[in-house]
Structure 1
Amino acid sequence: MNRDNARWSKSSYSGGSGTECVEIAVLNRRVRVRDSKDPGRSRLDFAIGTWGEFAASLRQSGGEEAGAHGRLEA
């Protein structure tokens, strides 16, 4: 159920087996992260700047694949 009208996008880096699925959505200058297997449960909520810092830290720490992916960027 989409309680907040956010448009959720599944990460292409989520496991193909369907057991490691992460989705993000941007709504009201916040980035929300949830487990797509159980979207009604709690989710993480980040300020858009904090999310940008997180993505940048992944790129700097050798996570270029994740950091370069468009869905990781808010």
Structure 2
Amino acid sequence: MHSTEPAIADRIAPSAWRKSSYSGGANADCLEVADGHATVPVRDSKAPAGPVVAFSADGWSSFITAVKHGRLFS
């Protein structure tokens, strides 16, 4: 099924994005998040016109916890 609704990134004002406090690293690996949505929109700060991943609040929390505890890296 094809949706005619705009992508979530198209509905978020550029000023609404902020760098995640969980971003960092020497390679300027930064995520941006937008607050005030039913989901947690996340995008790569180096590609603002690129795709957006929308996490549920619980999904985002689980992802951050996994990153903090090194569970996503081998």
TM-score (norm 1): 0.56
Overall identity of the aligned pairs, in %: 32
- Which stretch has the larger CA shift, 6-15 or 22-31? 6-15
Structure-to-structure mapping, 1:34-49, within 5 angstroms? 34-49=43-58
Cα deviation, 1:29-48, whole Å, max 9, x if unaligned, reads 21111111221111111111
| Larger RCO: 1 or 2 (CA < 8 Å, sep 6+) | 1
Q: Runs in 1 of length 4+ with deviation above 6 angstroms?
A: none
Unmatched tracts of structure 1, length 5 or more = 64-74
The alpha-carbon deviation at position 16 of structure 1 amounts to: 5.3
TM-score (norm 2): 0.56
In structure 1, the partner of 2:20 is 11
Matching residue within 26, 44, 49 for 2:35: 26
Unmatched tracts of structure 2, length 5 or more = 1-8
Q: Which has the higher strand share?
A: 1
What RMSD, in angstroms, separates the aligned Cα atoms of the two structures? Answer: 2.7
Alpha-carbon separation, structure 1, partners of 2:51 and 2:70: 29
